[in-house]
């Protein structure tokens, strides 16, 4: 496997990002971490948090999910904004900045050279903000994940494991404190702790993708239940296809039309 260096920038430009990178290709911003999270998390913060989590699969009363490697090399906290107020505040600010309806945060802590959670892909757009230590990333593009696997991820097929498959020449990036790496949804990626092995802390801020099925199917079914062509008993023989289609179009317009501001 050969690698290419991932493109870098030293200035965060939101318009340029949406125009050239959003859901297309990754980018690495050097030193832009404070735009996403400030002040940064320090080792005393992490160690206090780890003591609070000892012996629990999740922090009581929160939606955060805690995963640990038995050998202590990896701690991964999904939905960490529910248990760390500073991450909740950062998520609120990023929601406004990017124009999203929500933002979530995952916390990754590794201890040991090469430690990581493995190659995978997500149905979210992720912004990895390096806090402490260093991390080496190998990254592909969204098209490196086959459409059928993208479909399975979006539909969250039961038992589906979204392991990633890097291309023969993935992009490579070295993250240090203050760096931010954008990972488009569906792009396979793998991050491992750097060679110094002194520990790594990073936070991934994410926007989960929505599909038309997840957004509109239930409202559409509700709207169709108000259409006589769809709730009345079907006649014997051929159904009134034209009437069903007209009613379907009305119901679809009703649930997908966005009111003008």
- Summarize the confidence of residues 183-201 as an average pLDDT: 91
Residue 59 near residue 66 (C-beta atoms within 8 A): yes
CA distance 4 to 148: 27
Give the burial string for 74-85 (b: 16+ CB within 10 Å, else e).
bbbbbbbbbbbe
Peptide bond into 39 cis (omega under 30): yes
14 in helix, strand or coil? helix
Tell me the two tokens of residue 203.
């936070």
DSSP line for 97-138: HHT-S--EEEEEEE-STT----SB--SEEEEEEEEES-EEEE
- Summarize the confidence of residues 41-53 as an average pLDDT: 92
CA distance 47 to 53: 10
171 in helix, strand or coil? strand
Q: 223 falls in which pLDDT band (50, 70, 90)? A: very high
Look at strands 27-29 and 180-183 and give their pairing.
antiparallel
Report the range of poorest mean pLDDT among 28-32, 112-116, 149-153, 159-163: 159-163
Is pLDDT of 91 > 80? yes
pLDDT at 63: 73
pLDDT at 55: 62
CA distance 149 to 113: 31
Phi-psi region of 244 (alpha: psi -120 to 50; beta: other; left: phi over 0): alpha
Is pLDDT of 261 > 60? no
Across the strands, what pairs with 192?
136
Is pLDDT of 157 > 70? no
pLDDT at 258: 60
DSSP line for 174-199: EE-TT-EEEE-TT--EEEEE-TT-S-
Residue 202 near residue 130 (C-beta atoms within 8 A): yes
Residue 85 CB partners (closer than 8 Å, separation 6+):
none
CA distance 87 to 76: 15
In the chain, alpha helices (H): 14-20, 43-53, 85-98, 147-155, 212-224, 228-231, 241-256
Q: To the nearest whole number, what is the mean pLDDT of the chain?
A: 91
Within 10 angstroms of residue 106's Cβ, the number of other Cβ atoms is 23
DSSP state of 237: S
DSSP state of 144: G
Is pLDDT of 173 > 90? yes
Dump pLDDT digits (tens) for 92-128.
Answer: 999 999 999 999 999 999 998 888 888 999 999 999 9
Dump pLDDT digits (tens) for 4-41.
Answer: 999 999 899 999 999 999 999 999 999 999 999 999 99
Q: 161 falls in which pLDDT band (50, 70, 90)? A: low
pLDDT at 260: 46
């Amino acid at each position: 496997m050969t690698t290419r260096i991932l493109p870098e920038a030293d200035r965060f430009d939101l318009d340029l990002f949406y125009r050239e990178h959003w859901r297309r290709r990754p980018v690495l911003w050097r030193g832009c971490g404070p735009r996403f999270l400030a002040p940064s998390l320090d080792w005393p913060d992490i160690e206090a948090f780890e003591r609070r989590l000892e012996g629990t699969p999740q922090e009581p009363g929160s939606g955060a999910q805690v995963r640990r490697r038995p050998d202590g090399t990896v701690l991964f906290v999904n939905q960490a904004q529910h248990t760390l107020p500073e991450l909740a505040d950062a998520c609120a600010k990023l929601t406004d900045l990017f124009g999203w309806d929500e933002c979530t945060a995952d916390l990754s802590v590794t201890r040991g050279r090469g430690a990581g959670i493995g190659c995978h892909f997500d149905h979210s757009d992720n912004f990895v903000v390096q806090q402490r230590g260093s991390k080496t990333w190998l990254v592909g593009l969204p098209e490196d994940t086959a459409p059928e696997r993208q479909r399975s991820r979006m539909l969250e097929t039961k038992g589906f494991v979204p392991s990633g498959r890097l291309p023969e020449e993935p992009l490579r990036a070295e993250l240090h404190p203050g760096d931010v790496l954008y990972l488009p949804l569906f792009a396979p990626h793998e991050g491992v702790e750097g060679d110094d092995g002194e520990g790594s802390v990073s936070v991934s801020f994410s926007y989960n993708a929505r599909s038309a099925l997840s957004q509109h199917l239930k409202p559409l079914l509700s709207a169709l239940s108000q259409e006589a062509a769809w709730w009345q008993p079907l006649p014997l023989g051929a159904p009134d296809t034209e009437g069903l289609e007209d009613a379907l179009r009305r119901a679809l317009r009703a649930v997908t039309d966005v009111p003008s501001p």
